[in-house]
A and B are shown apart, each in its own frame.
Chain A
Amino acid sequence: MSQNKNSETAPLLEVKGLRQHFAVSRKFTVKAVEDVSFYINPGETYGLVGESGSGKTTIGRSIIRLYDPTSGEIHFDGNDISGRMDKKTKDDLRVNMQMIFQDPMACLNPRQKVADIIAQGLDIHHRYQSQKERTEMVAEILHKVGLSAEHANRYPHQFSGGQRQRVGIARALVMNPKLIIADECISALDMSIQAQVVNLMKDIQDETGLAYLFIAHDLSMVKYISDRIGVLHLGHLLETGTTEEIFSHPVHPYTRSLISAIPNPNPVLEKSRVALQYDYKTSGLDYDAGTLHLIGGTHYVRGTDADLERWV
């Protein structure tokens, strides 16, 4: 996919033809990510959606370079980060790109106080002159995510799920990054708490102008936070476009099944509605045979010419 023509600025992140394969044994390779391309502009939110096992986490981890991509290019903030990086590029990446995870408990060290969890990046990258400054930076970031300075001396288990997720956000945010990869960071929370965290993330974005790669397995919250959306299935990016394009004219049958799976809180209608089903095995589709087709605007769909004929 080419660059966004509407946008004057260069994308903050550009992923081109990313493949990430894992050799599980000598004979068997998992093709977790196949030929995935997308971009994220500065200050924008890109929602990446797909069922579990579709390759979302792998894409996140490839981009932040926890993996060496099998092939493809990743450009971030003007640097090529897909291959070997020099020390400066690597340091910039570790500061400017941060990740928040689904299960905050699994990544927060239970024996570490919240202050130390949050300041970890600051410690590594020597971002303060004195202990006093460190304490102030932690207090400020806690305040920003809706917690208070007194939370700094507590341990993760003393927090509710929603509060822990705020700690995770604070830890990423304290580095003042340009991109945060949020990997299912609200999936485990109650609806009402999900809404709080999504609103918080939007407020922070308005204030700091950072960009998000927002990874989720369903579309209902993604609609609220994303400017553009990518739909992923079995490692392939099947459809991408603005939130409006995806929700108003979903083209790929998988995208349509995801939208149809969102329950409608209207009991009379919902009782009789049967969600659209989609099964790759019986769909007759071959993702490998498809290519990305432009539907209009920034809206692309993967399929063969014959598939596209049927869908549009």
Chain B
Amino acid sequence: MEKKEEVLRIENLHISFKTTAGTVKAVRGVNLTVNRGETVAIVGESGSGKSVSAKAVMGILAKNGVIDQGRVTLSYYRSPQEKVTREILEMKKEEIRRHVNGKRIAMVFQDPMTSLNPLIPVGRQIMEGMIWHYNTPKEEAQKKALELMELVGITDAEKRMKNYPHQLSGGMRQRIVIAIALACDPDLLICDEPTTALDVTIQSRILELIQKIQKERDLSVIYITHDLGVVAKVADRVNVMYAGKIVETGTVNDVFYDPRHPYTWGLLSAMPDLGTNDERLYTIPGSPPNLLHEVTGDAFAPRNKYALKIDSRLEPPMFRISDTHQAATWLLHPDAPHVELPPELRDRIERMKKEAGYHESE
């Protein structure tokens, strides 16, 4: 196995929001690492804390947000010889904007219009980062912007440079946002539901585009989504998030072919299965907890038909399954009763493995 080089490490991150109704504990101890050149997915229902975690890394939390605890470490090379390691949470907002945001880490949001300025031609917007972060001469920035637009698959790039955002389709705008994100050769790209607002046919093209660029540039990507189909397509490693915590982490094969957390079982079972003629879709009963209230025990317990007594009292720690695979459920405790995967999911996974010619050892 090739040596892994860490680009980002998030340790024990806790974030809360002060609201008129009280304190919302949105992120409750997140741990995550991203290595160079790999794609790490964060998947979970809306409200689980995916975007908030990403925004903390970018130094763009909302004003009422507080980082209660944690470390975020970014490593990059200032020159091929000089490796730099920075503690992002100890940096000032202004410093993050100057040295990290857009330069080392770039972000693509769900709605491209939130990232684009409606009053500036798109070509100019791609050039801005290069000029601001690297003092790139205008001519050179222009040339690079043109190349980037071609890279993200915009035809007639020269003409399109002069267009304003509203003159482009949704898919085209998101391509521009990706071009802006790539303009300063970041080490890490965070994509927060980048295709959720797009048509499916355009969605697959954008995903394939990000994959292609990533290979070419050895870029690391954090991919945030609620869609496991997207995860299967893009991710090397997967983090399943629930109520502000990561409850299962593993390689994409660990999580899809050998899921261990009942919440992951629920998410996988709720995926539409085109291989069967089932009349009904599986749904996870209930809804996520309101994080205004203190969580005691396992936050997923009220929705979990496999919950144990201990779940209502004590929050489970991460249990190790293999070098790559961990899950936070008491079912993995050596003294826990043996619980089988739900039979429909077991059959589905067996079928998937057979179709893919996948064997455990891989």
- Which residues does A use to contact B, with CB under 8 Å? 51-52, 160-162, 190-193, 195-196, 198-199, 202, 217-221, 223-224, 247, 257-258, 260-271, 273-275, 277-278
Query: Which one of A162, A192, A223 has the greatest number of beta carbons of chain B within 10 Å?
Result: A192
Contact residue among A161, A196, A262 (Cβ-Cβ distance under 8 Å from B274): A262
Contact for A257 among B201, B208, B274, CB less than 8 A = B201
Within 8 Å CB of A196, what residues of B? 283
A219 to chain B minimum Cβ distance, whole angstroms, is 8
Chain A proximity mask over B48-70: 1 for CB below 8 Å, otherwise 0: 00000000000000000000000
Smallest CB gap from B230: residue in A: A263
Instruction: Kindly state the separation between the CA atoms of A277 and B205 in the bound complex, as whole angstroms.
Output: 8
The 7 closest A-B pairs by CB, nearest first: A263-B229, A268-B356, A275-B204, A195-B281, A261-B200, A218-B200, A51-B199
Once A192-B284, A268-B253 are accepted as A-B contacts, the answer to whether A275 and B226 lie under 8 Å apart by CB is no
Residues of chain A within 8 A (CB-CB) of B231 are: 265, 267
- Point out the residue from B199, B228, B266 that lies within 8 Å of A52, measured CB to CB: B199
- Answer whether A275 and B230 are a contact pair too, CB < 8 Å, given A199-B283, A220-B272: no
29 A-B pairs with CB atoms under 8 Å apart are: A52-B199, A161-B46, A162-B287, A191-B226, A191-B271, A192-B45, A192-B226, A192-B266, A192-B284, A195-B281, A217-B199, A217-B200, A218-B199, A224-B280, A257-B201, A258-B200, A261-B201, A261-B203, A262-B229, A262-B272, A263-B227, A263-B230, A263-B232, A265-B271, A267-B256, A273-B233, A275-B204, A275-B208, A277-B205
Residues 159-218 (chain B) with a chain A CB within 8 angstroms: 170, 199-205, 208
B77 within 8 A of A: no
For the complex, is B357 an interface residue (Cβ under 8 Å from A)?
Answer: yes
Task: Name the B residues within 8 Å of A269 (CB-CB).
Answer: 352, 355-356
Known A190-B45, A198-B281, A199-B283; contact A262-B355, beta-carbon cutoff 8 A: no
Once bound together, how far apart are the Cα atoms of A269 and B232, in whole Å?
Answer: 9
Q: A190-B45, A257-B201, A265-B256 are in contact. Are A223 and B230 (CB under 8 A)?
A: no
Interface of A (DSSP majority class): helix
**Cα-based distance from A113 to B268 in the complex (angstroms):** 36
B307 near A: Cβ within 8 Å? no
Most B CB atoms within 10 A — which of A161, A195, A262? A195
CB distance from A129 to the nearest CB of B (A): 36
Whether the pair B208, A274 counts as a contact (CB closer than 8 A) is: yes
Report B240 CB to chain A, min CB distance, Å. 12
Q: Are A263 and B253 in contact (CB under 8 A)?
A: no
B37 to chain A, nearest CB (A): 15
CB–CB B228/A265 < 8 A: yes
Does chain A have a CB within 8 A of B252? Answer: yes
What's the count of A-B pairs with C-beta under 8 Å? Answer: 120
Q: How far is the CB of B239 from chain A (nearest CB, A)?
A: 15
Q: B45 to chain A: which residues have CB within 8 Å? A: 190, 192-193
- Interchain CA distance A9-B204 in the complex, whole Å: 41
Shortest distance between the CB of B2 and any CB in chain A (Å) = 18
Q: Does B200 lie within 8 Å of A262, measured CB to CB?
A: yes
CB nearest to B285 among chain A residues? A196
Task: Give bound CA distance, A27 to B260, whole Å.
Answer: 62
B270 lies within 8 A of chain A by Cβ: yes
Q: Could you tell me the distance in whole angstroms from the C-beta of A299 to the nearest C-beta in chain B?
A: 18
Inter-chain contacts of A268 with B (CB < 8 A): 253, 356-358
What residues of A have a CB within 8 angstroms of the CB of B229 in the complex?
220, 262-265, 270
Residues A199 and B201 in contact, CB atoms below 8 Å apart:
no
Q: Which residues of A contact B356 (CB under 8 A)?
A: 266-269
Rounded to whole angstroms, the CA-CA distance of A196 and B285 in the bound complex is 9
Residues of B within 8 A of A274 (CB): 208
Contact digits for B314-358, partner A, Cβ 8 Å, 1 yes 0 no = 000000000000000000000000000000000000001001111
CA gap between A277 and B229 in the complex, in Å: 18
Cα distance A198–B271 in the bound complex, in angstroms: 13
B292 beta carbon closer than 8 Å to chain A: no
Q: Does B282 contact A (CB under 8 A)?
A: yes
Considering the chains assembled together, what is the distance between the CA atoms of A280 and B56 in angstroms? 42
> Is B32 part of the contact surface with A, judged by Cβ < 8 Å?
no
Interface status of B267 (Cβ within 8 A of chain A): yes
Complex contact A52–B170 (CB within 8 A): yes
Complex Cα–Cα for A121 and B279 (A):
32
CB distance from A93 to the nearest CB of B (A): 31
A201 to chain B, nearest CB (A): 11
Q: Write out the residue numbers on chain B whose beta carbons fall within 8 Å of the beta carbon of A202.
A: 279-280
Question: Judging by beta carbons under 8 Å apart, are B355 and A266 in contact?
Answer: yes
The 8 A CB mask of B281-318 against A (1 = contact, 0 = none) is: 11110010000000000000000000000000000000
Assuming A198-B281, A223-B272, A270-B233, is B266 touching A263 (CB within 8 A)?
no
Question: Which residue in chain B gives the minimum CB-CB distance to A219?
Answer: B200
